[in-house]
Structure 1
C-alpha cells in the first residue's frame, strides 16, 4: 500500500507542477497491463496499442480530474475503459457465424505477442493487481468475450479476470453495485457457452509445457517437409482451423488436412516452395511464424502465423493469421 500512496502522491505533485515528463513516466508504468486490458476488450492488438496511447494522452489532458479519491491505477483504468467503450460505440461489430452455424468467427481478431508480457504483482505487493491466469489471455477466451456487449465485457474482465470488487467496478463504470452484479450474472453464461468444451485450465503464466514445445517442433517439421501424414498425426479428430480476417473455417481432422494438402498441392503456387518455421509464443500458446521461399527467390518471405491450442497430446485448434502481425512479434521481414 505504501507504494501506491507514493505513486499517487507523485502524480498529485506532477499535476500541480504541470510536469508532463514526470506525469508521463508514472503513467507509463501501467501501459503494459492497460494494453492487455484493452486487448481483451477489443480482441485486436493494433487497436489496443492505439487506444492505450489515446488513454494516456487523455489522462494528461484531464490530469486535473485526478483528486486522489481513487488510486492512480484505478483512475487510468477508468479512462482506458471509457476510451474502449467510446471506440466500440463508434465501431459496433458482432462475431459472424462460423462453419458450424454458431457465431464463433471474429474477423478483427489478432494474436498478442508474448514478448510483451503482462506484469504480475502479488496481492501483498499491490492489492488491486492479481496474477492473471493463462486462460484469460488465450485466443479462445478473447474470442468468447467478444460475444458480450461492451459494458458486460468490461464488468467481466474487471471482476473475474482482474479481481476488482463489485464496489470498485461500480465506481469505475459510474454505475451501481446492483447493476454490476446483474451484468456479471448475464455475462458468465454467455462466456461459458462460447468457450471450448474441453478448454484447458492452467492458472499460470509459466512458459510453455514441454508437451507443447514438442508438438510445436513436430508441427514445424511437418510443414518444412510438407509431410501431410505427420501433420495429420498431430491433430485431434475434432480439430478446428480458422483464418481471421478471412471468412474460412474448417472443422474436423479430415477437412483441415484436405485444406492444407490442397494449399500445398500441385495446383498451388506454394507447392514447390520451401518452408521454414520460427517458434514464437502468442497469447501464452505455442505458435509458428511460417516463412516460404518460392523457386528462384533468394529469401524466405513471411506467409502465416499459426497459433496452436493443445490439449493432451494433440492440437485441437489452429488459428492462422496473415503475416501483417509479424511486426508486433519482432519477427524479421525476411529470412536468408
Structure 2
C-alpha cells in the first residue's frame, strides 16, 4: 500500500509522509502569492486541511504535487481576494527629501513582509523569493500572479495551469503575457542571487560586516561609503522612505547617532544578506529586537535597505529575544 492509499485509509502519519517533502516549497509558493510569512502559514495550514478532507475525491489523474499546488493556489487566490495586495513604502508615494522624525507606523496598511531562508533552500528558490520580485508580484491581479508563478517558477505547462485554475489555456497565456509585461517593468535586470554569486560568499559577508560595524560604531563616513548613489531606504511600517545617497546620508543620523547602542546578528532573508538589529539604551544595558535590515546589492555596494521594524521576525529567524550588554575588552 502506498502513502496515498494509506492516507485515504486513515493510517497515522501517512498524510504527513505524503505532503512532508513538499511542505517547504508549498509554503514558499504561498509566500510569493501573499507577500507575508504569516499569511503563508495560514494559507498552507488551510490548504493542507482542504487536501486532507478532499483525499477521497483525488482520483490520481495528476501527480500529488500538482494536486497540492492546485489546492494551495486556490486557497491563496481566496485570500488575495479577501485581503488585497501588500505594499512597501515606495508604493504609497514619492520619497522624502528631508529627515522625517515624526513618522508614526501606518498600521492600516497591509505591509509586504520578509521571508526567512533555510539552509536547504535551492538557488532557484532563493531567487524566486527575492524582495523585488515578491514586491512586483503584488502589483498583479491574483490570477496573473498565480499563472506567472506556476509557469515561470514551478514549471507547470499552460494546459496544466488552466486545469488547476479551472480556466482555458488561452486565458492562461493571456494572463502570462500581461503579467510578464508588469514584472519586466519593475524588476532590475540582474537578480540578487547572480550578484551574490559573482561577488562570492566572503565578499558578501565582508559587506554585511562593514554595514553592521558602521552602525554599531556610529561611523557615518564608513556607512555612506557602502551605498550606491541611487540607494533607497525604507522602514515598513513607517510610511516615509528615502532615495539617493544625500537623502540616505541625512537620514542615517537617526540610527547612527540618535539610537544609543546597537548589536547585530547576520541572517539571510528573501535570498539576500540581512542583519537583525538589537537596540539598547546604552552599551551596558540589555539589547532588545528592533528591526531586520534586508540589503539589496548592486555590485559590491548596497543599493537598497529595507528595514522591517518588527520584533516578531526574530522568533521567525530563531534568534534570541534579548542580548546582554556589549562585552568590552579591558
Common fold by TM > 0.5: yes
Report the counterpart of residue 323 of structure 2 in structure 1: 335
Q: Give the Cα separation in 1 of the matches to 2:163 and 2:282.
A: 61
Tell me if 1:233 matches 2:225.
yes
Tell me if 1:13 matches 2:6.
yes
Gaps of 5+ in 1: 1-5, 121-130
Report the counterpart of residue 109 of structure 1 in structure 2: 112
**CA 1:33–1:48 in structure 2 vs 1: closer, same or farther (change >3 Å)?**
same
Counterpart of 2:30 (choices 38, 43, 47) is: 38
Report the counterpart of residue 211 of structure 2 in structure 1: 219
Q: Deviations over 1:275-297 (max 9, x none)?
A: 11110111111101111221386
Q: Deviations over 1:115-147 (max 9, x none)?
A: 3644x5xxxxxxxxxx72643211011101110
CA contact (8 A) 2:130 2:192 kept: no
CA contact (8 A) 1:132 1:204 kept: no
Report the counterpart of residue 99 of structure 2 in structure 1: none
Q: Deviations over 1:148-198 (max 9, x none)?
A: 001100000011111111111111111111111110001001011122356
Report the counterpart of residue 310 of structure 1 in structure 2: 297
CA deviation after TM superposition for structure 1 residue 54, in Å:
1.1
Tell me if 1:299 matches 2:302.
no
How many positions carry a matched residue from both structures?
Answer: 308
**CA 1:314–1:328 in structure 2 vs 1: closer, same or farther (change >3 Å)?**
same
CA contact (8 A) 1:220 1:288 kept: yes
Q: Give the Cα separation in 2 of the matches to 1:155 and 1:72.
A: 19
Counterpart of 1:27 (choices 19, 27, 43) is: 19
Report the counterpart of residue 103 of structure 2 in structure 1: none
CA contact (8 A) 1:291 1:301 kept: yes
Tell me if 1:98 matches 2:90.
no
CA contact (8 A) 2:215 2:256 kept: no
**CA 1:33–1:279 in structure 2 vs 1: closer, same or farther (change >3 Å)?**
same
Counterpart of 2:130 (choices 112, 126, 138) is: 138
Report the counterpart of residue 264 of structure 2 in structure 1: 277
CA contact (8 A) 1:110 1:325 kept: no
Q: Give the Cα separation in 1 of the matches to 2:254 and 2:283.
A: 22
3-state SS of 1:202 partner? helix
Give me the TM-score of the superposition, normalised by structure 2.
0.86
Q: Deviations over 1:252-282 (max 9, x none)?
A: 01111211213444xx4x2xx2211110111
Q: Give the Cα separation in 1 of the matches to 2:318 and 2:198.
A: 21
Give me the TM-score of the superposition, normalised by structure 1.
0.85
Gaps of 5+ in 2: 97-108, 325-330
Q: Give the Cα separation in 1 of the matches to 2:249 and 2:184.
A: 29
CA deviation after TM superposition for structure 1 residue 215, in Å:
0.7
Counterpart of 2:61 (choices 65, 69, 79) is: 69
Q: Give the Cα separation in 2 of the matches to 1:219 and 1:263.
A: 12
3-state SS of 1:30 partner? helix
CA contact (8 A) 1:132 1:162 kept: no
CA contact (8 A) 1:114 1:283 kept: yes
- The alignment yields a C-alpha RMSD, in angstroms, of 2.5
CA deviation after TM superposition for structure 1 residue 244, in Å:
1.9
CA deviation after TM superposition for structure 1 residue 207, in Å:
11
Q: Give the Cα separation in 2 of the matches to 1:255 and 1:176.
A: 49
